Amino acid sequence: MTRRCELTGKGVQTGNNVSHAKNRTRRRFLPNLQETSVWSDSLQKAVRLRVSTYALRTIEKRGGIDGYLITARDKTLAPEFKRLKKQVQAAAEKRADA
């Protein structure tokens, strides 16, 4: 499993450990990924995600996973989230018609 956020694409970065004597050794900075489930109001089910804490804060700010997906651009989303976005939009339209 890759160490990459499913929504934002945030991944591993590289850099140096620098000792007091200024010796430099390579290291990896890993993203803070969390396995979580987020409730979708329009689909009435939980969606399992492996996302960074930054993405979780953004989801909360946008009013849930539905708000996040509706405001996100299609070219930034992974294919499975493009499908989920279409399902959310279809469910929202269906609820608006009723």
Listed by start position, the domains of the chain span 33-97
Say what the pLDDT of residue 77 is: 86
Tell me: the pLDDT tens digits for 29-73?
A: 999 999 999 999 999 999 999 999 999 999 999 999 999 999 998
Cα 22 to chain centroid, rounded: 37
Overall average pLDDT of the 1-16 stretch: 91
Q: Encode pLDDT of 77-95 as tens digits.
A: 888 999 999 999 999 888 8
Report whether 53 contacts 34 (CB < 8 A). Answer: yes
Mean pLDDT of 6-19: 95
CB atoms within 10 A of CB 82: 15
Instruction: Flag whether pLDDT at 1 surpasses 80.
Output: no
